[in-house]
Structure 1
Amino acid sequence: MLRNVMKPLSVRGDRACMQSASTRSLPTMLVPRVAAQRERVVCASSAVSKSLISVLKDELKYERENYRPDETLVPGPPNDFELDNPPGKNAFYLLKEYKNEAIIVEVDLDNQPDEDDPDVLDEDDEEPDSDDEDESMIVKFQVSVAKGSSALVFACASDGDLMTISHIAHESADADVEEDDNTSSYTGPVFEELDDTLQQAFLDYLEERGITAELGCYLRLQTVEKTTVEYQAWLARVKDFVSLE
């Protein structure tokens, strides 16, 4: 009885041992393949990273070799404004005190007209030549004239020869606080729909505070300068990141 009982057990045990041995040996057989695959992936990834680093270096070298600081910006902004140009940020500011008013001009690099935008074309609706690209550039900026607990906020643009207004809003100091009824505040009419006399009066209001075409010309040059400098810094940071082991 013991033999009859033990024999099947021995067979099952042998099969179990065979299955166990087979199961144990299977991963061992696959290890070289998996390792080889991983090695190929690592090598491919390394090659791609090296290629990217090389391109980044070439681009950074080109930018630095062709960069010339604009000497016309050295004296600083006109009309008694002071430049606040925080490194690494996508905006710069011009600051000024006028009587009891605090005036801030803000230029956001991410909020500029596209070169292909029809609104940026010249009067003949023709795209400017590459040599005239800088001369045809339009810069958009925001002017805040604050006093007391509120401010007038002007959305402006300039090509260096003319200065235009597209919108005017009157904002309180706590304009960013959400209203209880969740309704938006009225920010003002479309500027172009205002009476011509009123439009000119607003332009004169800004001109008295130093917001002129001359300032617009400075903003254009400073926008190009900051964009170039920040782009170089971005290239360097990305290159250093990709180079990390």
Structure 2
Amino acid sequence: MWRKVLTGAGGALQPWRTIACRRFSMPSAFSASSAVNSILLHSLKEHYLEVSKMTPPPKVSPPSPFTVLKGSLDGSGPALTRTYGDEEINISVMRLANIIPGGGDDDGDDINQLFLHVDVSKPGQTDSLHFLCGLYPDALGIHSVSLRPKSQSSGSLEVPKKYIGPVYEDLDDRVRDALHGYIEERGVNENLFHFLQAWLYVKDHRRLMRWFKTVGSFIKERKQDTDA
């Protein structure tokens, strides 16, 4: 849509070029820049208002005993946490489109496919057990299991500096079944899907609203500085 707006702006500037060829006075670069800024600010405001009117999903509580980490909607860390005995379990979530731009298909399956980073840590241990899982409305699948330093972010995609484990598909079926049972016993299953889907919607909505507002403020401040 913005490309269309800017294309329209380019069309509006064509008469100026004609005037220049006829040796009439040509508007300054400042005037052109001011016009573009005004168009952009108007477009940003329209989109901001449009996004602000979007109806949020019904409020859903996370399955007990998980709780939402304070400030997680405005941060980049885990969304959910819980304790299991002496273990601390943190869950981060993202959509397929956040990992593979354009991922999914035209039917919107990427909306119903979430990726979880499940981090299981214990006191006194320098490493935590990390699961990368695919979460669907009716199923949970494990993509990988690894040992990672506790200080490493659950959502990190950095190349590990040491061996963290075998390729998950190469593991024996009995081992894979046991790993599924391990995380399911800790409450990591398809019951998390509806909450995490709604949580991501709210998070994305906030980020989008903040983006429009921040970019608008930047353009407006720059315009005011130029005016001064």
**1:111–1:206 distance in 2 versus 1, CA, 3 Å:** farther
1:145 corresponds, among 97, 117, 120, to 120
Equivalent residue number for residue 32 of structure 1: none
Aligned length: 189
1:43 corresponds, among 3, 9, 31, to 31
Q: What letter corresponds to residue 41 of structure 2 in structure 1?
A: I
Tell me, which stretches of 5 or more residues in structure 1 are unaligned?
A: 1-35, 122-126, 177-182
Asked if structure 2 preserves the Cα contact closer than 8 Å seen for 1:102 and 1:146, the reply is yes
**1:45–1:90 distance in 2 versus 1, CA, 3 Å:** farther
Which 10-residue stretch deviates more, 232-241 or 95-104? 232-241
TM-score normalized with structure 2 length? 0.73
Asked if structure 2 preserves the Cα contact closer than 8 Å seen for 1:109 and 1:227, the reply is no
Asked if 1:68 is matched to 2:45, the reply is no
Deviation readout 1:202-238 (Å, 9 max, x if unpaired): 1111011110101133222211221112111211111
Task: Tell me the secondary structure at the aligned position of residue 95 of structure 1.
Answer: strand
Q: How does 1:106-185 map to 2 (within 5 A)?
A: 106-108=92-94, 112-114=98-100, 116-117=102-103, 120-121=104-105, 127-128=106-107, 133=108, 136-147=111-122, 148-149=124-125, 150-173=127-150, 184-185=161-162
Deviation readout 1:72-124 (Å, 9 max, x if unpaired): 42xx211311112435434542111110001111125797344743xx45xxx
Per the TM alignment, residue 175 of structure 1 is displaced from its structure 2 partner at its CA by 6.5
Q: What letter corresponds to residue 139 of structure 1 in structure 2?
A: L
Tell me, which stretches of 5 or more residues in structure 2 are unaligned?
A: 1-24, 154-159
Partners of 2:133 and 2:88 in 1: how far apart? 18
- Select the structure of larger CA radius of gyration: 1
**1:138–1:59 distance in 2 versus 1, CA, 3 Å:** same
Partners of 2:213 and 2:151 in 1: how far apart? 39
**1:139–1:109 distance in 2 versus 1, CA, 3 Å:** closer
**1:93–1:240 distance in 2 versus 1, CA, 3 Å:** same
Q: What letter corresponds to residue 86 of structure 2 in structure 1?
A: N
Asked if 1:86 is matched to 2:72, the reply is yes
**1:136–1:42 distance in 2 versus 1, CA, 3 Å:** closer
Asked if structure 2 preserves the Cα contact closer than 8 Å seen for 1:105 and 1:143, the reply is yes
Partners of 1:50 and 1:172 in 2: how far apart? 49
Which 10-residue stretch deviates more, 183-192 or 86-95? 86-95
Equivalent residue number for residue 105 of structure 1: 91
RMSD of equivalent CA atoms: 2.7
Equivalent residue number for residue 191 of structure 2: 214
TM-score normalized with structure 1 length? 0.68
Equivalent residue number for residue 19 of structure 1: none
Partners of 1:174 and 1:72 in 2: how far apart? 32
Per the TM alignment, residue 145 of structure 1 is displaced from its structure 2 partner at its CA by 0.5
Asked if structure 1 preserves the Cα contact closer than 8 Å seen for 2:96 and 2:115, the reply is no
2:81 corresponds, among 83, 87, 95, to 95
**1:173–1:72 distance in 2 versus 1, CA, 3 Å:** closer
Per the TM alignment, residue 134 of structure 1 is displaced from its structure 2 partner at its CA by 7.0
Q: What letter corresponds to residue 231 of structure 1 in structure 2?
A: L
Asked if structure 1 preserves the Cα contact closer than 8 Å seen for 2:41 and 2:219, the reply is yes
